[in-house]
């Protein structure tokens, strides 16, 4: 099975070979490194930008304005903050020009904690991103979705932010990408650059197929009856693990992998809440003005009379940063036991 | 709705200065044949070898732009618009730029990444007065923004005119992106970017110089700064240590020069030369144009004319008249005709529809895909 990094790489290859992507660029995105997480290794159109986040976003806007398709990378979301006004402009260009100028560009960036990256390699960006009007925002949790969401992002005529979990870059799923060889070693031999003697190396791409995950459509990763847990990205796996554990006790947890932050799959959330009567929103961005708060607000507004307990948001603590020592990181963003505790509390609540 | 201001200005400049021969290009032979022709003929030689057709066209567009800008200010002062910002005083620079750009859409034509002092360039490209006035008056018919944005925030994709943004200097590195696309297309088209001197303090200016000049990856860009000596109210010395902004381009091995942007001849010739260089080499070039800020920064500082400042339109007009290329009476007529056109355009725009409240949801996403979360 491909890792998420390999899945993104294959999606980008598919994009440049079949969907008109002409530039994949960012800091160290081109040869020799192919990205700090190897997600752009061996790609034909990948090139190294200057070490300048604002330059990267501006360049992407210009390329899109000029009529070509590109995928730009900010090496870590922690460094995307100095481009906020450019992201705002990219998102409002269509609106400000009354529909005249489209910017079909993809910006991908690794987000979140879980790799002990300390204060400046652990930032989340989903809540910030959700306020960038005009953008679509996706956050895959597994390789197949990573592949399908990237193709959808490339195809979308709007700017799309593709937020990829740092901690999941080596995560392998349990579903093959269409065209991917079943043997992991075979895939590795085909598309991973050798660590040594790599001069002149070129990837041998598998015969990949078009596979789209529509933007705005979530996925139920664990069906249940007693509580709805809405989450995305890395937290999906933690929530699923808790759901499996609690099922042994007869607590039936429905886990929704939202996959897209904006637009989001409200019909799926609503239907699930109406079924279970309880809901918990889980993500690792900071808790004050968290995207989960918006969803909790909406759940309260639209599902109030179906709710058996107060909606709850479990998120990262409202801290200036995430400390490097594991004691600090683990007490800053939700861990398995935090999720389990929160689910138990909501399930135990009686009107 | 007075239309005297501009007429007087033009009239005064033109009055009693020189020959009364007709100004129409077709009648210029008459001027040459007159008894007074000897002196003007000598003066003609000082116009840089540009044809009379180009000179008269340039003058005409400069007048049109000035009249339009003054009309916009009048609209603001009459309370029919919320804010004015523009570039009266930059006609010599802006008109020459618009005349020389390769106009059209797609990567085979030039891209123009302008700022909000570029009405003269838009006029030279062929923008109708009324389309600037529609923008000023926030009409739904405004072709640039549909009534959503400030004056002079133009967007004309049919001419590769990128949307003007309020944040300063972001247009510089965005222009690198379109230049990158043009370079790949290989049709000799260039990306032109303009901006003010104060905005060069933004990091995006440096981003542009770096991206445009990387060795072996140079971009076909005309990078320009219109230096009027002020950033709103902060004088040049208040933020600059460098003697010339063009010196900064030189540090990146970008060919650069400083020109008198108040002189349409010098401007035209310099732009032509640099554009040809860029098209031929695929490398960037930089021009710092010294210009006049004739009406202040924006309506925020009153938008009143500074009569002591150099006026490139009136000066050029006088020079053309003195040289016998333009007739004073014909010049006056040009001002009057454009003034009448401006008044008429304002009256028409006043009758046109404004954006509807519900249109706020239009174009958040392509094809007006639902952006309202309440409707997901």
Query: Are residue A151 and residue A21 in the same domain, yes or no?
Result: yes
Are B232 and B272 within 8 A, CB to CB? no
pLDDT tens for each residue of A309-338: 999 999 999 999 999 999 999 999 999 999
**A66 falls within a domain:** yes
From A191, A211, A227, the end of a domain falls on A191
- Asked if residue A233 and residue A182 are part of one domain, the reply reads no
Model pLDDT for residues A84-140, shown as the tens digit of each residue: 999 999 999 999 999 999 999 999 999 999 999 999 999 999 999 999 999 999 999
User: Which pLDDT does position B38 carry in this prediction?
Assistant: 52
CATH number at residue A61: 3.40.50.970
Chain A residues touching B180 at Cβ < 8 A: 23, 59, 62-63, 66
Distances (CA, A) of B236 to A125, A219, B122: 39, 58, 27
Q: Are residues A155 and A257 in the same domain?
A: no
**DSSP bridge partners of A105:** A70
The answer as to whether A260 is a domain residue is: yes
Which of B51, B32, B50 has its CA nearest to residue B42? B32
Query: Comparing C-alpha atoms, which of A127, A104, A122, A102 is closest to residue A112?
Result: A122
CA dist., res. B345 & res. A115, Å (int)? 63
A185 and A75, same structural domain? Answer: yes
pLDDT at A4 over 70: yes
A178 and A312 inside one domain: no
Residue contact A94–B163, C-beta within 8 A = no
Q: Which residues of B touch A66 (CB under 8 A)?
A: 107, 111, 177-178, 180-182
Q: Hunting for tokens 């400030």 — which residue is that?
A: B150
Q: Are B284 and B292 in contact (CB under 8 A)?
A: no
Q: Are residues A162 and A257 in the same domain?
A: no
Q: Does A83 touch chain B (CB under 8 A)?
A: no
Q: What is the predicted pLDDT for the residue at B40? A: 58
Closest residue to B148, CB basis, from A86, A98, A216? A98
Dihedral (Cα; B112, B114, B120, B126), 10-degree rounding = 40
Q: Can you give the pLDDT at residue B11?
A: 37
Distances (CA, A) of A275 to A228, A244, A254, A306, B93: 9, 19, 10, 8, 68
Give the one of A60, A64, A89 whose C-beta lies nearest to B165's C-beta: A89
CATH number, residue A269: 3.40.50.920
Residue A199 maps to a domain = no
State yes or no: pLDDT of A230 exceeds 80. Answer: yes
Question: What is the domain count for chain A?
Answer: 2
Q: Are A193 and A41 in contact (CB under 8 A)?
A: yes
> Do residue A27 and residue A130 come from a single domain?
yes
Does the residue A319 lie in any domain? yes
Is B12 in contact with B357 (CB distance < 8 Å)?
Answer: no
Q: Measured between CB atoms, does A214 come within 8 Å of chain B?
A: no
Task: Identify the closest residue of chain A to B148 by CA–CA distance.
Answer: A96
ipTM for the complex?
0.96
Q: Are A239 and A147 in a shared domain?
A: no
pLDDT of B43: 65
Within 8 A of B176 by CB-CB distance, chain A residues are: 55, 58-59, 62
Q: What angle do CA B350, B356, B357 make, to 5 degrees?
A: 130
Mutate to test the interface with B, among A62, A161, A214 (most CBs of B within 10 A): A62
What pLDDT, on a 0 to 100 scale, did the predictor assign at position B39?
57
Chain B residues whose CB is inside 8 A of the A258 CB are none
Residues of A in contact with B163 (CB under 8 A): 93, 96-97, 100-101
Identify the active-site residue in A121, A123, A171, A237.
A121
Q: Return the structure tokens found at B337.
A: 């005709």
Question: pLDDT averaged over chain A?
Answer: 97
Residue A64 within any structural domain of the chain = yes
The pLDDT score that the predictor gives to residue B301 is 85
Tell me A113's DSSP state. S
For β-strands B230-231 and A227-231, DSSP reports them as unpaired
- Domain of A270 in residue numbering reads as 219-348
Sheet of A279-286, strands arranged across: A219-222, A253-257, A227-231, A279-286, A312-316
| CB nearest B174 (choices: A61, A134, A265) | A61
Rg over alpha carbons for chain A, rounded to the nearest Å, is: 20
A171 and A232 inside one domain: no
- Give chain B's residues under pLDDT 50: 1-37
Q: Which of B352-357's residues contact partners 24+ apart within 8 Å by CB, and which partners?
A: B352/B134, B352/B139, B352/B140, B352/B141, B353/B139, B353/B140, B353/B141, B354/B138, B354/B139, B354/B140, B354/B147, B355/B138, B355/B140, B355/B146, B355/B147, B355/B148, B356/B140
A150 shares a domain with A32: yes
pLDDT tens digits, A155-178:
999 999 999 999 999 999 999 999
- Are residues A142 and A250 both part of a single domain? no
Whether residue A258 lies within 8 A of chain B, CB to CB, comes out as no
Query: Of the residues A174, A191, A208, which one is the last residue of a structural domain?
Result: A191
**Within a domain: A206:** no
pLDDT tens sequence across B280-291: 999 999 999 999
Nearest CA of chain B to the CA of A264: how many Å?
A: 8
Task: Give which of B150, B174, B208 to mutate to test A binding, by max A Cβ within 10 Å.
Answer: B174
Query: Would residue A109 count as lying in a domain?
Result: yes
CB pairs under 8 A between A and B: 138
Whether pLDDT at A283 is above 90: yes
Closest CA to B90 of B334, B229, B290: B290
Active site residue A226: no
In a domain, A205, yes or no: no
Q: What is the pLDDT of residue B22?
A: 36
Stretch A61-90: mean pLDDT: 98
Contacts of A86 in chain B (CB under 8 A): 170
- A147 and A246 inside one domain: no
For residue B374, the distance in angstroms to the closest alpha carbon of chain A comes to: 9
Contact of A79 with chain B, judged by CB distance below 8 Å, is answered with: no
Q: CA of B198, closest CA in chain A: separation in Å?
A: 19
Q: Does A48 touch chain B (CB under 8 A)?
A: no
The CB-side HSE value for A114 (13 A sphere, CA atoms) comes to 23
Residue A17 clears pLDDT 90, i.e. is over it: yes
- pTM assigned to the model: 0.93
């Amino acid at each position: 099975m491909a890792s998420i990094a390999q899945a993104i790489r294959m999606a980008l290859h598919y994009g440049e070979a079949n969907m008109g992507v002409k530039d994949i660029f960012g800091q160290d995105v081109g040869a020799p490194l192919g990205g700090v997480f190897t997600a752009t290794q061996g790609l034909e159109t990948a090139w190294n930008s200057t070490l300048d986040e604002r330059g990267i976003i501006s360049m992407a806007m210009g390329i899109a304005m000029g009529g070509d398709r590109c995928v730009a990378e900010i090496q870590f979301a922690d460094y995307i903050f100095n481009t906020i006004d450019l992201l705002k402009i990219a998102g409002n260009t269509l609106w400000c020009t009354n529909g005249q100028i489209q910017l079909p560009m993809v910006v991908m960036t690794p987000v979140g904690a879980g790799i002990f990256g300390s204060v400046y390699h652990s930032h989340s960006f989903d809540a910030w991103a959700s306020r960038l009007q005009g953008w679509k925002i996706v956050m895959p949790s597994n390789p197949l979705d990573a592949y399908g969401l990237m193709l959808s992002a490339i195809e979308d005529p709007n700017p799309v932010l593709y937020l990829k979990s740092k901690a999941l870059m080596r995560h392998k799923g349990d579903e093959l990408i269409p065209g991917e060889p079943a043997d992991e070693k075979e895939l590795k031999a085909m598309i991973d650059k050798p660590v040594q003697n790599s001069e002149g190396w070129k990837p041998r791409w598998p015969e990949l197929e078009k596979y789209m995950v529509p933007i705005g459509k979530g996925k139920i990763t664990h069906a249940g009856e007693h509580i709805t847990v809405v989450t995305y990205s890395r937290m999906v796996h933690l929530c699923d693990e808790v759901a499996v554990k609690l099922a042994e006790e007869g607590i039936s947890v429905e886990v929704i992998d939202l996959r897209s932050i904006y637009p989001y799959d409200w019909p799926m959330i609503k239907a699930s809440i109406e079924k279970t009567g309880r809901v918990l929103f889980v993500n690792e961005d900071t808790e004050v003005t968290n995207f989960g708060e918006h969803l909790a607000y909406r759940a309260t507004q639209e599902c109030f009379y179906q709710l058996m307990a107060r909606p709850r948001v479990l998120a990262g603590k409202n801290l200036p940063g995430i400390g490097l020592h594991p004691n600090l990181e683990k007490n800053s963003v939700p861990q398995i036991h935090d999720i389990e505790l929160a689910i138990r509390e909501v399930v135990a609540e009686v009107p | 709705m007075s239309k005297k201001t501009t007429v007087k200005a033009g009239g005064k400049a033109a009055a009693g200065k020189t020959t009364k021969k007709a100004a129409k290009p077709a009648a210029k032979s008459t001027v040459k044949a007159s008894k007074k022709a000897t002196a003007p003929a000598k003066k003609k030689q000082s116009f840089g070898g540009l044809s009379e057709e180009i000179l008269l066209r340039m003058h005409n567009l400069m007048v049109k732009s000035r009249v339009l800008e003054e009309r916009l200010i009048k609209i603001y002062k009459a309370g029919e618009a919320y804010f004015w910002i523009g570039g009266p005083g930059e006609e010599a620079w802006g008109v020459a730029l618009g005349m020389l750009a390769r106009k059209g859409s797609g990567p085979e034509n030039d891209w123009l990444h302008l700022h909000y002092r570029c009405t003269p360039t838009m006029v030279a490209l062929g923008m109708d007065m009324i389309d600037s006035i529609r923008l000023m008056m926030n009409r739904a018919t405004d072709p640039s923004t549909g009534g959503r944005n400030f004056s002079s925030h133009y967007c004309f994709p049919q001419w590769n005119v990128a949307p003007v943004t309020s944040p300063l200097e972001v247009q510089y590195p965005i222009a690198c992106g379109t230049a990158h696309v043009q370079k790949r297309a290989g049709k000799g088209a260039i990306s032109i970017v303009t901006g003010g001197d104060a905005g060069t303090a933004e990091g995006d200016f440096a981003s542009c110089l770096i991206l445009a000049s990387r060795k072996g990856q140079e971009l076909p860009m005309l990078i320009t700064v219109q230096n009027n000596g002020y950033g709103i109210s902060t004088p040049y010395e208040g933020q600059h240590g460098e003697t010339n902004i063009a010196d900064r381009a030189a540090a990146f091995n970008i060919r650069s020069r400083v020109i008198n942007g108040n002189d349409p001849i010098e401007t035209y010739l310099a732009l032509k030369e640099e554009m040809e260089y860029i098209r031929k080499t695929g490398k960037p070039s930089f021009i710092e144009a010294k210009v006049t800020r004739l009406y202040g920064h924006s309506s925020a500082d009153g938008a009143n004319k500074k009569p002591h400042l150099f006026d490139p339109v009136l000066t050029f007009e006088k020079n053309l008249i003195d040289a016998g290329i333009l007739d004073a009476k014909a010049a006056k007529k040009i001002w009057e005709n454009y003034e009448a056109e401006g008044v008429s355009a304002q009256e028409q725009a006043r009758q046109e529809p404004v954006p509807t409240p519900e249109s706020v949801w239009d174009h958040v996403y392509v094809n007006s895909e639902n952006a309202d979360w309440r409707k997901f």
